[in-house]
A and B are shown apart, each in its own frame.
Chain A
């Protein structure tokens, strides 16, 4: 009985209080940091510094790659800061601060991190790895007019200017990579039988689509077996056994999972199947995948790249590579040989950002986006000759050109012909 009377009284009081509260308060938040005049500096940029944010997986299954995305940019700007900073297009010299946030590849957390960035007064989000994690805050970034640029995803959506006015992808879209390999074997003139294994999502489909478009009309190439697996699978042994029996001499393996890539390299050997392999750029690391997978047993492991591989003897004395490794060690607390290409990529992101900073005429996000969309023919450090940063084409990421590479036992070397 007591219970019945109490809540009603409380409800009344709460209701009255709520009405008073709502009507009395109005908007306490006057001019927030959004908007502002065209000449007022955007948040995150002062006369002496600029702050960039990176939300990326620093824990979980892809923490290795995620850590690299932070390390590269940090190393690049660490070296520049030590030399005094970057001279911006408006004549002021600023140091660049990098703030990193761990999202553990969880979209909900990357959105939270973005909100934290906004409250931390970050000028722009950059270099973050992951399609769902970048998609999770894409609309929030658009509505708050915060740049989300040079992100590490092969999702074409980020390079579509109409749909993503404040975004820009950095790495080649999946189709670019598959097409480069397709072109190479189609041009070999030799008959080849190809087996395809792909991840059953936009990633795998993108690769396969690019590859198939490139071999269309090439009479010397026939696809003799095609299998898919789920990104959550822990083994692809069944698919490999199936494909091995097809007698293919080329294996197009569009796989994004590191342990699976290692396991399949090992499994095919056990089956006595030794084709030439194609592996996507993010699962072709010599140190992390090919070595443990025993890749030397195959006639050839092909991948695509636009970055010099520091592991490769061919680049051991390359000045870019030497400086890159020294910067990583000194400014990014990353003393080891980078196990993932993301370290090199994000170093190039640094160079691309620097280029945009040099040409932006006002300390605003608008001016930054204009400057960023005008980078052309930039040969960023570590880029292979024949590739360049070009942000001027709608629908293409900052880097859309890739070169096919062949594993030489330690690293990769560019090849012109298959075989």
Chain B
């Protein structure tokens, strides 16, 4: 349900009021379920949900820079680790936890900005190289800066034990902390990618020359996307420490960055809901393989990655869309297609019915026009300001 709300802006546009009521009801239901769940679930389920939240935020950040803006980032785990270390240090120093959270995001964001200022000048693969360097530099750095990081033995910090007044268990308390931050993060990201910046990201991803000709600076857009991704990484690091309560140089090892990337691709690149699925994949698959045969973790992850890439190149989030497409195709073959029916805008535009495509194309054209107008308006607005 979530993905329909989030992934396809088009499906939100039709102004039927009945539809809106349904959406509100669904949203409220989801919210109530999310709020009530930890009180009824066993601790292990809560702990698992907590970790899903942690990695969903990290994947979300990665999605903004890679999925939406098309810039290869192989260093996201560095920002997660940075956020975790800042949090651990802050907690050890006894700082206010809100301040620690802000610092975790801010420091990660500043480092991300500095890296991006340099890296975004370079094209395509060069950015990937720079981002590879981050975790590779990060691990030895974390080992050497013993005063801050506790060296290779790591640093542990507890700050998410449930306070007495709440009457909650620790796992439930952690769940609510992480739900709060994750929900806020997803809401912010959704607004970001659906607003003017999201459109700028999209144009830069498609074609930088076109972006420049429309007055969208590819450089600034890339820097922005990278910085936002780093901030999400820092937030994820804060959550990591809230959930794991320990961090060590192993946290930011390069391999995990690749796992995050795989999680993003499997969930769905360029999709908000896909980030959530990616986070779930990152956490759940190792648990499942543990239950089946703990010797098969890497093999099964590789197999899942290949299967998803072959069958659902747009990630698991596209599963409902693909299923719908298949049912349409079948109905078309039987000659029972309903031409008036609105086809959800598939990215590939592979819906077989001509009318539907036409309809969709019109819809798209109108929308593109308004989008462009908005972009132009926004651009001129910005120029005026400047």
Question: Is there contact, CB below 8 Å, between A232 and B140?
Answer: yes
Question: A100 with B140: in contact, given A10-B24, A131-B153 (CB under 8 Å)?
Answer: no
Task: Tell me, rounded to whole Å, the shortest Cβ–Cβ distance linking B258 to chain A.
Answer: 12
Taking a contact as CB atoms closer than 8 A, the residue among A18, A109, A115, A137 that contacts B286 in the complex is A109
Question: Is there contact, CB below 8 Å, between A107 and B140?
Answer: no
Bitwise, A92-127 to B at CB < 8 A (1) or not (0) is 000000001110111111011101101100000000
B381 interface residue per 8 A CB criterion: no
What A residues does B289 contact at CB under 8 A? 102
Q: Which of B35-43, B59-67, B117-125 contacts A (4 or more CB under 8 A)?
A: B35-43
What residue in chain A is nearest B144 (Cβ atoms)? A200
A36 interface residue per 8 A CB criterion: no
Question: A201 with B151: in contact, given A58-B295, A60-B255, A107-B244 (CB under 8 Å)?
Answer: yes
Task: Tell me, rounded to whole Å, the shortest Cβ–Cβ distance linking B295 to chain A.
Answer: 5
Question: A13 with B24: in contact, given A106-B256, A118-B43 (CB under 8 Å)?
Answer: yes
CA distance A118 to B143 in the complex (A): 31
A9 interface residue per 8 A CB criterion: yes
CA distance A140 to B156 in the complex (A): 11
* Chain B interface mostly: helix
* Chain A interface mostly: helix
Task: Tell me, rounded to whole Å, the shortest Cβ–Cβ distance linking B30 to chain A.
Answer: 9
Bitwise, A12-44 to B at CB < 8 A (1) or not (0) is 011001100110011111001000000000000
Please classify how large the interface on chain B is, using the bins under 10, 10 to 19, 20 to 34, 35 or more. 35 or more
Task: Tell me, rounded to whole Å, the shortest Cβ–Cβ distance linking B28 to chain A.
Answer: 5
CA distance A137 to B243 in the complex (A): 11
Question: Is there contact, CB below 8 Å, between A21 and B140?
Answer: no
What A residues does B256 contact at CB under 8 A? 106
In chain B, positions 14-51 with a C-beta closer than 8 Å to chain A are: 15, 20, 24, 27-28, 31-32, 35-36, 39-40, 42-44, 47-48, 51
Question: Is there contact, CB below 8 Å, between A108 and B24?
Answer: no
Q: Which of B89-97, B212-220, B245-253, B355-363 contacts A (4 or more CB under 8 A)?
A: B245-253
A162 interface residue per 8 A CB criterion: no
Task: Tell me, rounded to whole Å, the shortest Cβ–Cβ distance linking B312 to chain A.
Answer: 25
Question: Is there contact, CB below 8 Å, between A230 and B140?
Answer: yes
B240 interface residue per 8 A CB criterion: yes
CA distance A138 to B246 in the complex (A): 10
B105 interface residue per 8 A CB criterion: no
Question: A14 with B27: in contact, given A58-B297, A116-B287, A135-B154 (CB under 8 Å)?
Answer: yes
CA distance A232 to B253 in the complex (A): 9
Question: Is there contact, CB below 8 Å, between B51 and A231?
Answer: no
Bitwise, A226-255 to B at CB < 8 A (1) or not (0) is 000011100000000000000000000000
CA distance A100 to B48 in the complex (A): 18
What B residues does A200 contact at CB under 8 A? 140, 143-144
CA distance A10 to B143 in the complex (A): 47
Question: Is there contact, CB below 8 Å, between B35 and A22?
Answer: yes
Question: Is there contact, CB below 8 Å, between A2 and B136?
Answer: no
B328 interface residue per 8 A CB criterion: no
What A residues does B255 contact at CB under 8 A? 60
What residue in chain A is nearest B45 (Cβ atoms)? A119
What residue in chain A is nearest B39 (Cβ atoms)? A25
Question: Is there contact, CB below 8 Å, between A230 and B143?
Answer: yes
Question: A112 with B31: in contact, given A102-B290, A136-B246 (CB under 8 Å)?
Answer: no
Question: Is there contact, CB below 8 Å, between B154 and A18?
Answer: no
CA distance A18 to B36 in the complex (A): 8
What A residues does B283 contact at CB under 8 A? 112
Question: Is there contact, CB below 8 Å, between A28 and B248?
Answer: no
In chain B, positions 217-255 with a C-beta closer than 8 Å to chain A are: 240, 244-251, 253, 255
What B residues does A202 contact at CB under 8 A? 151-153
What residue in chain A is nearest B156 (Cβ atoms)? A139
Question: Is there contact, CB below 8 Å, between B247 and A107?
Answer: yes
What B residues does A231 contact at CB under 8 A? 139-140, 143, 152
CA distance A298 to B146 in the complex (A): 37
B147 interface residue per 8 A CB criterion: no
Taking a contact as CB atoms closer than 8 A, the residue among A10, A112, A119, A230 that contacts B28 in the complex is A10
CA distance A271 to B249 in the complex (A): 33
What A residues does B251 contact at CB under 8 A? 107-108
What B residues does A232 contact at CB under 8 A? 136, 139-140
What A residues does B287 contact at CB under 8 A? 112, 116
Question: A135 with B156: in contact, given A17-B32, A27-B167, A58-B295 (CB under 8 Å)?
Answer: yes
What B residues does A107 contact at CB under 8 A? 154, 244, 246-248, 250-251
Bitwise, B281-324 to A at CB < 8 A (1) or not (0) is 00100110110001101100000000000000000000000000
B197 interface residue per 8 A CB criterion: no
What A residues does B136 contact at CB under 8 A? 232
A400 interface residue per 8 A CB criterion: no
B158 interface residue per 8 A CB criterion: yes
What B residues does A167 contact at CB under 8 A? none
Task: Tell me, rounded to whole Å, the shortest Cβ–Cβ distance linking B303 to chain A.
Answer: 13
CA distance A139 to B15 in the complex (A): 53
A203 interface residue per 8 A CB criterion: yes
CA distance A108 to B44 in the complex (A): 14
What B residues does A132 contact at CB under 8 A? 152-154, 248-250
CA distance A43 to B28 in the complex (A): 38
Taking a contact as CB atoms closer than 8 A, the residue among A59, A112, A133, A138 that contacts B47 in the complex is A112
Task: Tell me, rounded to whole Å, the shortest Cβ–Cβ distance linking A13 to chain B.
Answer: 5
What A residues does B169 contact at CB under 8 A? 27, 29
Question: Is there contact, CB below 8 Å, between B156 and A67?
Answer: no
Inter-chain pairs besides A58-B295, A106-B250, 13 sampled, C-beta below 8 Å:
A14-B28, A21-B32, A25-B40, A27-B39, A101-B294, A115-B43, A131-B152, A133-B250, A135-B246, A136-B154, A139-B156, A139-B158, A230-B140
Which 3 A/B pairs are nearest by Cβ-Cβ distance? A119-B44, A201-B152, A132-B248
Q: List 24 A-B contacts (CB under 8 A).
A: A2-B20, A9-B24, A14-B27, A14-B32, A17-B31, A26-B39, A27-B168, A28-B40, A29-B169, A101-B294, A102-B290, A105-B250, A107-B248, A108-B251, A109-B286, A112-B286, A115-B47, A131-B152, A132-B153, A136-B248, A139-B158, A139-B245, A155-B153, A200-B143
Q: Give the B-binding residues of A (Cβ under 8 A).
A: 2, 6, 9-10, 13-14, 17-18, 21-22, 25-29, 32, 58-60, 67, 100-102, 104-109, 111-113, 115-116, 118-119, 131-133, 135-140, 143, 155, 157, 200-203, 230-232
